[in-house]
């Protein structure tokens, strides 16, 4: 058994992973006393959008946490193709509204991994932060408190923080959930643009519209993979009704 998720050193392309950005094999993971993911085998293709779909509690966030390296696998393998460590964008709700942070400070935190907590940001860091904020259309919100932004604005600030990490693998937890249709659409288009520009995007979602815009869906049911493939093949009425049983 080899668990490789902490090894992110650049190196020659991995012949075994090929066009897969991440290859997940027989993965088990969860929390102390609470196994969640069981025997999960799936591929995250490079330069595509993958949606993790499934009911609440099916293990979407847990899988993102494992991909991000913040939750340890208990067994199985994760193999990453060459690239930078992933950027993890947690749920908006997980980012305290009460935190006295401006939008700019929030995006600057994306440079901490590179710079360390206490070192001043360099001119180059600032350029990266500015360009991420421009890209997400939040440059004019720089001085505003995170807590006073709309859900859609806050989500774009958090994605800008992810971009500021300059990773080619973005992991997002429910980026469109709870947003109005216009804000949802904007995020979906932005993420598709990032993919077109060379980023691999994985998003956990129970927004079926967002899932339909993905290249590949991984359908999770009770910690197991119930389907993998293009949305039109995976998100069938039969598959969804089997999984979303009325309580
Ligand atoms: P989803 O993202 O699909 O809603 P999660 O991955 O958040 O699912 O949760 C999967 C299961 O793991 C759920 O039963 C949930 O209660 C449990 N769980 C999530 N986080 C924790 C935690 N920190 N400690 C223990 N159990 C957890």
What would the pLDDT profile of 20-74 be if each residue is shown by its tens digit? 999 999 999 999 999 999 999 999 999 999 999 999 999 999 999 999 999 999 9
The protein residue whose alpha carbon is closest to atom 15 in ligand 1 is 57
pLDDT score of 241: 87
pLDDT score of 243: 84
Query: In which band, very low, low, confident or very high, does the pLDDT at 13 lie, cut at 50, 70 and 90?
Result: very low
Strand ranges (DSSP E) for the chain? Answer: 20-31, 34-45, 49-53, 73-80, 87-89, 169-173, 200-205, 216-221, 224-229
The SS3 of residue 146 is: helix
The protein residue whose alpha carbon is closest to atom 9 in ligand 1 is 57
C-alpha 140 – ligand 1 centre gap (Å) = 36
Pocket of ligand 1 (CB under 6 A): 31, 34, 36, 54, 56-62, 204
pLDDT score of 12: 41
195: left (phi over 0), alpha (psi -120 to 50) or beta: alpha
- Give the length of the chain: 247
User: Taking the mean position of all CA atoms in its chain, how far away is CA 213?
Assistant: 15
DSSP string, 16-59: TTTTEEEEEEEEEEEETTEEEEEEEEEEEETTSEEEEE-STTSS
pLDDT score of 88: 94
Q: What is the arithmetic mean of pLDDT over 186-190?
A: 93
Atom index in ligand 1 nearest the CA of residue 62 equals: 6
State the Cα–Cα distance between residues 133 and 75, nearest whole angstrom: 39
C-alpha 135 – ligand 1 centre gap (Å) = 32
* Candidate of 57, 91, 174 to mutate for ligand 1, largest count of ligand atoms within 8 Å of Cβ: 57
C-alpha 204 – ligand 1 centre gap (Å) = 13
The protein residue whose alpha carbon is closest to atom 17 in ligand 1 is 57
Query: In which band, very low, low, confident or very high, does the pLDDT at 226 lie, cut at 50, 70 and 90?
Result: very high
């Amino acid at each position: 058994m080899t668990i490789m998720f902490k090894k992110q050193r650049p190196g020659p392309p991995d012949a075994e992973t090929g066009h897969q950005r991440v290859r997940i094999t027989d993965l088990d993971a969860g929390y102390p006393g609470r196994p969640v993911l069981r025997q999960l085998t799936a591929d995250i293709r490079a330069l595509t959008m993958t949606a993790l779909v499934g009911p609440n509690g099916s293990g979407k966030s847990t899988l993102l946490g494992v991909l991000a390296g913040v939750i340890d696998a208990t067994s199985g393998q994760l193999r990453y193709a060459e690239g930078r460590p992933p950027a993890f964008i947690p749920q908006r709700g997980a980012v305290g509204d009460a935190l006295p942070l401006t939008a700019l400070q929030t995006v600057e935190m994306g440079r901490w991994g590179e710079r360390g907590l206490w070192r001043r940001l360099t001119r180059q860091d600032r350029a990266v932060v500015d360009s991420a904020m421009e890209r997400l259309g939040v440059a004019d919100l720089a001085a505003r408190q995170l807590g006073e932004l709309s859900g859609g604005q806050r989500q774009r600030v958090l994605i800008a923080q992810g971009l500021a990490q300059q990773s080619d693998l973005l992991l997002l937890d429910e980026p469109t959930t709870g947003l109005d249709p216009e804000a949802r659409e904007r995020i979906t288009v932005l993420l598709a643009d990032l993919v077109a520009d060379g980023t691999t995007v994985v998003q956990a979602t129970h927004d079926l519209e967002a899932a339909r815009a993905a290249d590949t869906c991984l359908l999770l049911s009770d910690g197991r993979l119930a389907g993998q493939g293009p949305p039109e093949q995976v998100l069938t009425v039969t598959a969804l009704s089997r999984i979303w049983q009325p309580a």
